Structure 1
Amino acid sequence: MLRIITQQADVRSELQRICDRTQDEQVLHKEATVREVLQAVKRQGDKAVLHYTAEFDHQILKAEELKVTGSELDAAYQQVSKDLLQAIRLACQKIEAFHRQRVPKSWVQFGDDEVVLGKRYTPVDRAGLYIPGGRACYPSTVLMNAIPAKVAGVPRVVMVTPVRGGKMVNPAVLVAAQEAGVQEIYRVGGAQAIAALAYGTETIPKVNVITGPGNIYVTLAKKLVYGTVGIDSLAGPSEVLVIADETANPAYVAADLLAQAEHDPMAAAILLTTDAGLAKKVQMAVERQLVDHPRRIDTEKAIAHYGLIVVVESLAAAAELSNEFAPEHLELEVADPWALINQIRHAGAIFLGSSTPEAVGDYLAGPNHTLPTSGAARYASALGVETFLKHSSIIQYSQTALENVASAIDILATTEGLPSHADSVKLRVED
């Protein structure tokens, strides 16, 4: 059952426990396994990828079976309903429209002092997308990762995803990938997939940036290859924090909490409310909605271990606790969410009002659903077009402009004990 506590209890330590839920004592052991996988794939390429796919995923593949074929991609369209295809295309339109507004513009400024400064944005050459496939299929995750890469102008977008039985990739995932502009798809998952993208194999190309969520082995692999390639973030289990007052509908709040809890036994679902009566109603609504729930076992585990209702003294107190937790998803189910949002400093995505469940953000509102978790919203942001871009500074000095600053550069270079830095300027202004 979803627990209810009051703000007088040790709320902060309980929220910290939930925030730290992925930091178990087995992480070091798992990291050692991941290091072994990474090194093997780096040395042996496809051979190691196939070995670990057999060992961990129990899928026996040949190297020529790693890449999804054109005939499989064509067949996928025959295996999804027209309604699903229409929904995928609608989501594509909305996600692309949002991300096109976020493309940074290159710029150049010609100063009166004969100095030209600017910034030039260019996409990476190759992006690798990891799409999980263990507990469910996630066409929405395909769209959220692939479309920003497409909008950024990445020339080559490849995708990896594990298979479960029959060597087949879910047709909805294949259709979503094609609609979003993915050019290559490989049926491999786990740490070995991240290694293949980071180092390249005979079949799978080396990429520059890896994005997409996964289990702890995938997350550790992304952490360890960072520096060889760029990554989006180290995503943990999903989480939602709802701030609600007496105007909130308890059935809505309960459904939103369960919408996160059903993802994973380690998902977190938290309600902060000023109304003790609402707290009890939500608790009861959660129990009712769990009856005959298709994912009841995993959902109940999440609720039991990482679900929480806190009765707070005020919305200001709720905002303060929320900022400390820095949730991935934050719902403001209050009478005036726009007044409360000014008190919110840390959240991956903020959903305002009773008609805006987090699910709209998961699928087709437009903003990305790949968000910082486990408190990372204090310093990190959602995946976006910027993830697939890098920028170069542009600098040009005229002879006069260089002469104007030569003395200052000489002083700074001499102070740092770098005489050739100073000489590189002196030679140009003394000739």
Structure 2
Amino acid sequence: MEYIKKSTNIKTETSVATEQTVKDVIKDIQLNGDEAIHKYEKKFGNNDRTSLRLSEEEIESAIASLTDEQKSLIDNVVERVSNFAKAQLDCLLPLDRDFGDGIRLGHKLIPVETVGTYVPGGRFPLLSSGVMVAAPAKVAGVKRIIACSPANYNGSIHPAIIYGLKQSGVTEIFAIGGAQAIAAMAYGSESVPQVDVISGPGNRFVAEAKRQVFGEVGIDLVAGPSEVVVFADEFSKPDLIAADLLAQAEHDPNARAILIITSKELGENTMLEVEKLLEQFDENSPAHESWNKMGEIIVVDSIQEGIEVCNEFAGEHLHLHLKETEEAVEKIHNYGSLFIGENSSVVFSDKVSGTNHTLPTNRGGRYTGGLWVGSYVKVATFQEITGPGVNTLATHASRQSEMEGLEGHHLSAFKRKAQAEFSK
């Protein structure tokens, strides 16, 4: 393995300062509710709105500013994301089965009641982000879906984001960003309802806030800046690879764009292509800093070595620019989402294909997948023990409880055993 280009500044740990700032925000909002939310909105977002919640009139006015073409594009995203979520939900089945005479066990699929979705404001209005987090919740059957997003568009939220949220089933939209939005949804305030699950991507303050409130509420996952790993061979096209690397690099200065390739010559050609394409990017694009400090090109000796490196990176997006993909698909197990073949652009998933773009980063693909309809469904078990099943289980449970020295457990099981024998 050889590096043609190596990153110079990878920082994945949360800074002490960020952790403390978020902790202070959360505590203040717990104690002071809306007053504290307004304070941090003014401090961090220059938001001096009197109402945190968007009124129906404000929502209708924003939607009315969109063209039919804009609404049609967003409707297509909602439809495709919803259809994929429905297909996923169809794979989840309730269970109700006998596991012995008189021993009925199973599980139910129960949607959580209230979900809070977070939609980043960021440098660009990411029109699919709200749909990605909200539409699967609606498909899951969540009764109440609220959304928070920074008020960085003329003192409100971008109209296209508002429309996407409404079309995805969100009923309450709040102009709140950052850690204060996460704290508000986790603990509730005079204006913001407390939720059961918080989902959606965000900056380091949002990610840290989700980490800190986990347990008080559920979360989808803690995700950092975007990552793409492109795995290519000697048959790949440097111009396509370069475009795919930069598509993710432009998300954030700390985004990671990594190429793993079996040909040193093509790796070097790709680096030249990236540099040539960057000349066409706006000078303020995050892609410049991202590629300069975080971009990597790694030459591997074989497809097998490349597979091992991909599994080690566990990248958020893994794009296979390989002539033959079968072996890699079979043997690579660590990633957030897999893109098979050079034409399966990550951008398609970012925008409209239907799979979710809220995915694990920082090697999280080793232990979890991304946000999906199942993130909003509880798989809750049940049991009903009757007749012979009572005696079967009570005999075992009472003996085991005696061995463990648990008198209450023994008593509870023994009384059932005695009752079952009496009723014979």
2:239 match: 251
In the TM superposition, 1:15-34 aligns within 5 A as: 21-23=11-13, 27-34=15-22
Letter in 2 for 1:41: I
Q: Residues 89-125 of structure 1, C-alpha deviation per residue, up to 9 Å, x if partnerless?
A: 1111111111112112222013451211100111111
Q: CA deviation at 1:186?
A: 0.2
Letter in 2 for 1:88: I
Q: Is the 8 A contact 1:338 1:352 kept in 2?
A: no
**1:429 and 1:85, CA in 2 relative to 1: closer, same or farther beyond 3 A?**
same
Aligned match for 1:117, one of 82, 105, 113: 105
In the TM superposition, 1:21-60 aligns within 5 A as: 21-23=11-13, 27-60=15-48
**1:10 and 1:276, CA in 2 relative to 1: closer, same or farther beyond 3 A?**
closer
Letter in 2 for 1:424: S
* Alpha-carbon separation, structure 1, partners of 2:280 and 2:242: 15
Q: CA deviation at 1:296?
A: 4.8
* Alpha-carbon separation, structure 2, partners of 1:221 and 1:378: 23
Q: CA deviation at 1:297?
A: 4.2
Q: Is the 8 A contact 2:3 2:296 kept in 1?
A: no
1:304 match: 292
* Alpha-carbon separation, structure 2, partners of 1:190 and 1:297: 22
1:77 lines up with 2:75 in the alignment: no
1:90 match: 76
TM-score using structure 1 length: 0.93
* Alpha-carbon separation, structure 1, partners of 2:113 and 2:17: 34
Q: CA deviation at 1:295?
A: 5.9
Out of 356-365 and 69-78, give the one that drifted further: 69-78
Q: Is the 8 A contact 2:4 2:296 kept in 1?
A: no
Percent identity between matched residues is 34
Q: Is the 8 A contact 1:348 1:372 kept in 2?
A: yes
Q: Residues 296-347 of structure 1, C-alpha deviation per residue, up to 9 Å, x if partnerless?
A: 5421110011101111111111110110010000000110112321120101
Q: Is the 8 A contact 1:262 1:296 kept in 2?
A: no
Q: Is the 8 A contact 2:3 2:299 kept in 1?
A: no
TM-score using structure 2 length: 0.95
**1:210 and 1:175, CA in 2 relative to 1: closer, same or farther beyond 3 A?**
same
1:100 match: 86
In structure 2, stretches of 5+ residues that fail to align are 420-424
Q: CA deviation at 1:9?
A: 5.6
- The SS at the match of 1:101 is helix
1:382 lines up with 2:370 in the alignment: yes
* Alpha-carbon separation, structure 1, partners of 2:283 and 2:228: 18
In the TM superposition, 1:303-382 aligns within 5 A as: 303-382=291-370
Q: Is the 8 A contact 1:243 1:334 kept in 2?
A: yes
Taking only aligned residues, the RMSD between alpha carbons, in angstroms, comes to 1.7
- The SS at the match of 2:320 is strand
Q: CA deviation at 1:52?
A: 0.7
Q: CA deviation at 1:280?
A: 1.8
Q: Is the 8 A contact 1:163 1:188 kept in 2?
A: yes
Aligned match for 2:54, one of 59, 68, 72: 68
Out of 272-281 and 225-234, give the one that drifted further: 272-281
2:141 match: 153
Letter in 1 for 2:293: H
Equivalenced residue count is: 417
Q: Is the 8 A contact 2:128 2:351 kept in 1?
A: yes
2:167 match: 179
Q: Residues 242-297 of structure 1, C-alpha deviation per residue, up to 9 Å, x if partnerless?
A: 01112211111000000010000000001011112211221111112112313654
* Alpha-carbon separation, structure 2, partners of 1:141 and 1:118: 35
2:422 match: none
* Alpha-carbon separation, structure 1, partners of 2:413 and 2:161: 57
In the TM superposition, 1:181-260 aligns within 5 A as: 181-260=169-248
Q: CA deviation at 1:77?
A: 2.5
- The SS at the match of 1:324 is helix
Q: CA deviation at 1:407?
A: 2.3
* Alpha-carbon separation, structure 2, partners of 1:164 and 1:329: 28
Letter in 1 for 2:219: I
**1:364 and 1:297, CA in 2 relative to 1: closer, same or farther beyond 3 A?**
closer
